[in-house]
Amino acid sequence: MPLVAPFRTSFGTETERDVLLLRVVTPDGEGWAECVAMSDPLYSPEYVDGAADVLRRFLIPALPPNPDAHNVERALHPFKGHRMAKTALQTAVLDAQLRAGGQSLASFLGAANDRVPSGVSVGIMNSIPELLDAVTGYLEEGYLRIKLKIEPGNDLAPVRAVRERFGPDLLLQVDANAAYTLTDAPHLAKLDPYNLLLIEQPLAHDDMIQHAQLAQKITTPICLDESIESAAHAAAAITLGACSIINIKPGRIGGYLEARRIHDLAQAHGIAVWCGGMLETGIGRAANVALAALPGFTLPGDTSGSHRYYTTDITPPFELQDGHLAVPTGPGIGVEPLPDVLDAVTTSTEWITI
């Protein structure tokens, strides 16, 4: 699916997404989920064709006879890694289970809100004027928080320009996608005066100790994304002081059950969480918006409207109302693909019977 505009991060430029959707048909009904793996293993070791392979070869054949989210999680546990593939399978089963029982995912997870505040993740631009135009457009649409992607050489100047143009009240944060090392601490400290909400994943995903050391050297709160692959990682990060905020992406950590565990753990420790994104279609977005409605999600997420990503989404589009997205109320994830749109963008289909 083509993106409305190229999305550049410190790890690469995306112009389209190769989306893997799962449709699970059980005796009780059917469910949908989206795998967030990208085409290339640049954000994480997973990639979409690898996810399809591990699903086909190992994960789907391991499904228990009467699958539900909990027994699927247990059945997939022996397989190391591949959390994006596992999330898709567990979520499709959970959607089927909830649809059969007439319960929404938001209600199942323990949502406290019927709408969630929307932030937007702004890619690295070719020039500052281009960046200021993009941010202006998003603020006019009502986005409540701006996240700037940064990388060495594209950090202080864009942050300064956006802060100067839009003033001290703008909720502003940055995401480095692991582009720095601890030796950059004095440089990253130059972001301190700009009063950022947080800096997301400044160092490598396995630099947990180094993040704790960086936290002693800068005043901007550190938020971890790539480093948090499980609730156990979240517990380690909190204990070490490696972060004071966590970006929860269900796809990265193996599912919505584990996402809820991280939420509960963080809440118990006074750590703020927010819901990240992976440029999802409406299928993945619906589930993320349900999660973001839990009470510990106290910061706006990368839960943007469908048109920030796609001209034509495969579900009815999520649209901003006063800077918020409504939490779906229907059974399961509450949305389904529009058959005609889905057909038009489908490049291949495979049925696997077990």
Catalytic positions? 149, 249
* Shortest Cβ 225–Mg ion spacing (Å): 4
Out of Mg ion, ligand OSB, none, which partner does residue 279 contact, by CB within 5 to 8 A per kind? ligand OSB
Using CB under 6 A as the binding rule, whether residue 85 contacts ligand OSB is answered as no
Out of ligand OSB, Mg ion, none, which partner does residue 310 contact, by CB within 5 to 8 A per kind? none
Looking at residue 229, its amino acid is: E
Using CB under 5 A as the binding rule, whether residue 280 contacts Mg ion is answered as no
* Shortest Cβ 11–ligand OSB spacing (Å): 8
Among 177, 220, 227, 244, binds ligand OSB (CB under 6 A): 177
Phi and psi at 118, nearest 5°, equal -105, 125
Of all helices (H) and strands (E), which one includes residue 147? strand 145-149
* Shortest Cβ 181–Mg ion spacing (Å): 17
Report d(CA 134, CA 137) in Å as an integer: 5
Using CB under 6 A as the binding rule, whether residue 173 contacts ligand OSB is answered as no
Beta-sheet pairing, 2-9 with 12-16: antiparallel
DSSP-derived letter for residue 123 is: -
Return the residues of window 216-245 that contact ligand OSB according to CB under 6 A.
Answer: 225
Return the residues of window 257-276 that contact ligand OSB according to CB under 6 A.
Answer: 276
Token representation of residue 88:
């898709």
Mark residues 190-209: x for contact with ligand OSB by CB under 6 A, - for none: --------------------
Out of Mg ion, ligand OSB, none, which partner does residue 43 contact, by CB within 5 to 8 A per kind? ligand OSB
Q: For residue 128, what are the contacts with CB-CB under 8 A and spacing of at least 6?
A: 157, 158, 161
Nearer to ligand OSB, 202 or 328 (CB): 202
* Shortest Cβ 26–ligand OSB spacing (Å): 29
Nearer to ligand OSB, 108 or 274 (CB): 274
Using CB under 5 A as the binding rule, whether residue 14 contacts Mg ion is answered as no
DSSP per-residue codes, 251-278: HHHT-HHHHHHHHHHHHHTT-EEEE---
The count of residues interacting with Mg ion (CB under 5 A) is 3
DSSP-derived letter for residue 16 is: E
Sign of the dihedral defined by the CA atoms of residues 126, 129, 132, 134, in that order: negative
Report d(CA 63, CA 88) in Å as an integer: 13
| CA contacts within 13 A on the Cβ side of 272 | 14
Report d(CA 283, CA 269) in Å as an integer: 31
Out of ligand OSB, Mg ion, none, which partner does residue 158 contact, by CB within 5 to 8 A per kind? none
The residues that touch ligand OSB, with contacts defined as CB under 6 A, are: 43, 121, 175, 177, 225, 276-279, 302, 304
The residues that touch Mg ion, with contacts defined as CB under 5 A, are: 175, 200, 225
